[in-house]
Structure 1
Amino acid sequence: MDIEKFRLFCLSLPDTDERMPFQGFFRNSRSILVFYVHSKMFCLLDIDNFESCTIKYHIDELEDLKNRYLAVGDPFNLSRKHWISVAFGKDLSDEKILKLVGDSYELVKKNLKKGK
């Protein structure tokens, strides 16, 4: 997976913006890039160590994804109930990873509508 292709995909999703909000909060946090839909995170990654991304996902599907794919695991520093880490270059194609990121975006966007 190419970092710029990944970034452009995330930014192509409607109402998405990117920020680096964790600078100074924890070790190595200065390089964490976060993608938001209407100020709610749906994906984050380390731009200095582009080996994986962390996404929010459907609670009822998290364990199945972790059991089915070596690339899917627990997130670093986020709730294991709502988030997963997805490694690049393992047993998930780039297309499947982008689909999971798109699903994360849709999940967060849908939950925003519920909260209104």
Structure 2
Amino acid sequence: MNGQELQKIAGDCTAELPGTGQEHRLSPDWELHKVGGKVFMLMTDMPGRPVVILKADPDDATALCKQYADISPGYHMNKRHWITMEGGDTIDDKLVKELVTDSYRLVVGGLPKSKQPVDPHTGNHCA
């Protein structure tokens, strides 16, 4: 999958998740996806390469970076809690949707109960 496909799949996935919103910042060119006012996904272009940046459990982040050549520590983010996905042969639709949903649930789980659009453990996921 190429970087544009990666970003399209990730963006379409966030649209299916309850309570999400999107912000665009022009300088630099960043697309922020939020739930309850908190960012759970960012999309931008690292020099010539479209990427998706997601929140991840620190243990999962380390394992993902070791397992997938196209996943690295978070670009411009806390390297323990965020990962960066690039388009490539090791990434498929299912993995993208799973990691976007995991990021969303991590952020929802940190929100006060009154701001949680779903139960973070049983709530929605991308199809």
Instruction: Work out whether the TM-score is over 0.5.
Output: yes
CA distance in 1, matches of 2:72, 2:45: 19
CA RMSD of aligned residues (A): 2.2
> Which consecutive unaligned segments of at least 5 residues does structure 1 have?
none
Aligned to 1:44: 42
Residue 14 of structure 2, aligned match among 10, 15, 24: 10
Q: Return closer, same or farther for 1:75/1:3 CA change in 2, 3 Å cut-off.
A: closer
Superposed counterparts of 1:1-116, under 5 Å: 1=5, 3-21=7-25, 23-24=26-27, 29=28, 31-46=29-44, 51-113=50-112
Higher normalized contact order (CA 8 Å, seq sep 6+, divided by chain length) = 2
> Which consecutive unaligned segments of at least 5 residues does structure 2 have?
116-127
TM-score by length of 1: 0.81
State the number of aligned residues. Answer: 109
Q: Return closer, same or farther for 1:47/1:19 CA change in 2, 3 Å cut-off.
A: farther
